[in-house]
Amino acid sequence: MEFQIRTDSIHRGSDGRWEVKYTVRYGNGRKPYSGCITADTYDEACAAAARLMSEGSDLSCDRAETMTEPGTYGDCLDGWLVFIQPRVKESTFIRYRNIVDNHIRPRLGCLSIQQIGTSKMEEYVSELLRDGRLDRMGGLSSKSVSDILTVVKETFRYSVSHGVEHFCCFDRLSVKSYNREMRVLSRQEELAFVSVLKEDTDRYKAGMLLALYTGIRIGELCALKWSDISLDDGILCISRTMQRLQKVDAPDGDVSRTHIVITEPKSAAGRRLIPLPQPVRGILSEFRAPGNAYLLSGLPSSYVEPRVLKSHFKRCLRQSGVRDANFHSLRHTFATRCVEAGFDLKSLSEILGHSSVKITLDKYVHSTMEQKRVNMERLFPTENEFLPAENETLAKNHAK
């Protein structure tokens, strides 16, 4: 089948942006299609024209069939979601869909892909950082905006694969990231919290102690069964995680919009074996149950979901007098204590279920003020002396 794209003109439009008018001729009796692509600069317009000219000789017949009159970006978003759903985990798809429905479609969905150039995307990023929150109480974090841009890039890549080009230079789009300080319990806070957990210990408190001394995530803890625990060998096997997700296709009239999902960990590194310290094994042994029973409930037919465990965690936190923290702080605290104790980082990375040591260092290992103080004091081996005696003598001789 003959397929040809011809650029008819390049000129500046009334809004100051550059326009590339083109004609698509299919050569099989189909009516030619004329279109217009906008660009922010003349150089971008020329680059767009060059790409369009190469389409006429380089595109395969199959791809030519998909080069139809483009609809809105919202249509592209719908197509991408249908494409991606069977290729990712349910939790990932729901996160993508929420990003599309909450942040991308309302602001960009009515535009054509050709209207979303670099300047438009720069404006869009600024809007998200300024007032992108759904409650209109401020802007989104740089991490959230970066996640949104990742989805936008994927949808644009999807549009290109279906013959609809875009002229947004994503290399020019960057979001300055700030490392948010993660909550780590101090030594005093940890002692106070553990003291509460050891008083009238129940299954919930035993689970919290397990999280504090192994670094497992709350979803992994809730999905644990006794078949995953070998007290004799002192081994904990992590092979599942639990989370509450929105239903993908909830029928009309369905009162419950969410459901509990138990799946494998999100990565191969998440499946791991963790040695159990002897004190933790002693506490768990008091609640031993059949292998098919869940650790936190002691029953095979019922489980404790993450939001219920979070409620118990907050109650224990208040009883201990420790300032507010989230359950994930137990994981941060575990990683920090391991580094302070001199763990080799490779072992720690594997215990935490990370695919690389860099993730462990960048995300979960935090230097406390106590550790910084110890390191600073190493500069002064003798209290109240700026220089040890022998070094002071050398300094006087040097001065002479």
Q: How far apart are alpha carbons 271 and 250 in whole angstroms?
A: 31
Q: Are the C-beta atoms of residues 234 and 284 closer than 8 Å to each other?
A: no
Tell me, yes or no, whether 259 and 306 share the same domain. yes
CA 115, 110, 176, 153 dihedral sign is negative
Task: Give me the number of domains the chain comprises.
Answer: 3
Tell me, yes or no, whether 193 and 339 share the same domain. yes
Nearest partner of 350 among 342, 359, 341, judged by Cα:
359
Q: Output the tens digit of pLDDT for each of the chain's 400 residues.
A: 344 445 556 777 655 667 776 665 645 454 555 556 666 677 777 776 776 665 444 333 333 333 334 478 999 999 999 999 988 888 899 999 999 999 999 999 999 998 999 999 999 999 999 999 887 788 999 989 999 999 999 999 999 888 888 888 888 887 877 667 789 999 999 999 999 999 999 999 999 999 999 999 999 999 999 999 999 999 999 999 999 998 877 665 555 678 999 999 988 899 999 999 999 999 999 999 999 999 999 999 999 999 999 999 999 999 999 999 999 999 999 998 998 888 888 999 999 999 888 888 877 665 656 677 777 877 776 655 655 555 555 555 655 5
Q: How far apart are alpha carbons 210 and 96 in whole angstroms?
A: 32
Note whether residue 32 is domain-resident.
yes
Tell me, yes or no, whether 216 and 95 share the same domain. no
Domain that holds residue 129: 85-172
Q: Are the C-beta atoms of residues 108 and 116 closer than 8 Å to each other?
A: yes
Tell me, yes or no, whether 228 and 320 share the same domain. yes
Note whether residue 41 is domain-resident.
yes
- Against a cut of 0.85, is the pTM above it? no
Residues 6 or more apart whose Cβ sits within 8 Å of residue 233: none
Nearest partner of 100 among 43, 38, 154, 139, judged by Cα:
154
Residues 6 or more apart whose Cβ sits within 8 Å of residue 218: 211, 306, 309, 310, 327, 328
Tell me, yes or no, whether 168 and 191 share the same domain. no
Note whether residue 267 is domain-resident.
yes
